Amino acid sequence: MDLTEAQRQEMAEARAARSETRRPTVPALEAMLFEVMPVLDHGFVRVIDYMGDDGAVVQAARVSYGRGTKAANEDRGLIRYLMRHRHSTPFEMCEIKYHVKLPIFIARQWIRHRTANVNEYSARYSVLDREFYIPEPSQLAAQSAINRQGRGDVLEGEEAAHVLNLLRQDAMTNYDHYLEMLNEGEEGQMRDESRRGLARELARMNLTLNSYTQWYWKTDLHNLLHFLSLRADSHAQYEIRVYAEAMMKSLAAWVPSVYEAFRDYRLGAVTLSAQMLEVVKRKLSGEQVEQKGSGLSAREWRELMSMLGQEG
């Protein structure tokens, strides 16, 4: 990940600033404010601002006037109860704002989560940087034969080198043509004083989807947890999962009791259908249950056996 000297200076100034406040703050998250967490080759996640903490969730659930007088273990127990029973509104009382730099094709996947306030870098106003996401060889995989949304075996040797070359070549060529259509260099200067450039809002359509964009993304804690439950999952696409994993670090620093409950009841939990639960009950009673008489499809049966750590 590359930052310009101006960007480094801007971040240093933001971290050096101090403000007095009466609202609750979280020292662990304060230490992370404005810090860059690198993601992929040129991307990052930064926490810009936040409101609330574990205590705000408890306060909202009890509708108390202050931070409450309950013991910490009682507060932890209440948070775990709220998470376990999928209460949502107490978690909506906390908010967090991130600055994210990410490839455009991941941004288009990310924006499907319509529960945040988003403001993106405008390529109508500014010229995008010459930065593109090029996968690590270990992430360069063929299409899965059994999962239409997933990856199969990793490409190797000449096959992998050819694909990487195409990705770099296409991105660089299209970016060169983008600047040519704008009639601008990378410093924003006109290349040919006798020729007018194409409008930025039109020239940008030639850029490849692995070009990097940036945005501010603000959401409440409830919707952040929903985002992370999907995108930090092992089945999520790698390129968005690594962003979710970086955000998980900020979640653990910000609301440690919520993070613990989320890890136990969402990330580390499984959901059973009524039919799956009935199979488990029958097995616990000592009955030998087979897929054919279980009421489950072959795929559901395999999923259940995987959850139970048994052979399908």
- Alpha-carbon gap, residue 75 to 61, rounded angstroms: 10
User: Of the listed 231, 263, 266, 302, which one is catalytic?
Assistant: 231
- Alpha-carbon gap, residue 89 to 57, rounded angstroms: 9
Compute how many other C-beta atoms are within 10 angstroms of the C-beta atom of residue 190.
13
Active site residue 204: no
SS3 265: helix
CA-closest candidate to residue 132, choices 214, 238, 42, 7: 42
SS3 21: coil
Rg, Å, the chain Cα set: 24
40 within 8 A of 133, measured Cβ to Cβ? yes
Sequence length of the chain is 312
- Alpha-carbon gap, residue 196 to 182, rounded angstroms: 8
CB-count burial class (<10 Å; 0-12, 13-18, 19+) for 301: buried
Q: Which pair of structure tokens corresponds to residue 12?
A: 């240093």
Catalytic residues: 231
